[in-house]
């Protein structure tokens, strides 16, 4: 089983819709990161959250870190076709020094 479970695995929506994807674990993380990966490219970092309960906004993207630092969510408002990609969460487990990734949510936004 993955250390970080992401849901849903696949999501296909129409342009303009809102969506939320989740990243859950039973472990506590010192920090958690969200990446977006497009075909043929490496993942690109979107945000890092470090404080329990923290909320960060990046234009139409809102990231939240759970109070217990075990989970996170990514909410996209008014999705656009350019948001299409694989969204990955990654966390460094408390007292470890490496980043572990979830399997990702593959998002398709249709025009």
Partner 1 sequence: KAGVTQTPRYLIKTRGQQVTLSCSPISGHRSVSWYQQTPGQGLQFLFEYFSETQRNKGNFPGRFSGRQFSNSRSEMNVSTLELGDSALYLCASSYQNLNTEAFFGQGTRLTVV
User: What is the DSSP track for the chain?
Assistant: --SSEEE-SEEEEETT--EEEEEE-SS-EEEEEEEEE-TTS--EEEEEE-STT-EEEETTEEEEE-TTSSEEEEEESS--GGG-EEEEEEEEETT--SEEE---EEEEEE-
Closer to partner 1 at the Cβ: 39 or 111?
39
Closer to partner 1 at the Cβ: 29 or 76?
29
Q: Tell the smallest beta-carbon distance from residue 49 to partner 1 (Å).
A: 12
Q: Tell the smallest beta-carbon distance from residue 39 to partner 1 (Å).
A: 10
Q: Tell the smallest beta-carbon distance from residue 21 to partner 1 (Å).
A: 14
Site for partner 1, rule CB under 8 A: 2, 30-31, 33, 35, 40-45, 48, 88, 90, 92, 96-104
């Amino acid at each position: 089983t993955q250390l970080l479970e992401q849901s849903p695995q696949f999501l296909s929506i129409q342009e303009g819709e809102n969506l939320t994807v989740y990243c859950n674990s039973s472990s506590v993380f010192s920090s958690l990161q969200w990446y977006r990966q497009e075909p043929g490219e490496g993942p690109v970092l979107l945000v890092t959250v470090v404080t329990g309960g923290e909320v960060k906004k990046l234009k139409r993207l809102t990231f939240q870190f759970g109070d217990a630092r075990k989970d996170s969510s990514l909410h996209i408002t008014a999705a656009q076709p350019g948001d299409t990609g694989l969204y990955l969460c990654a966390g460094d487990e408390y007292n470890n020094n490496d980043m572990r990734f979830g399997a990702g949510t593959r998002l398709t936004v249709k025009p």
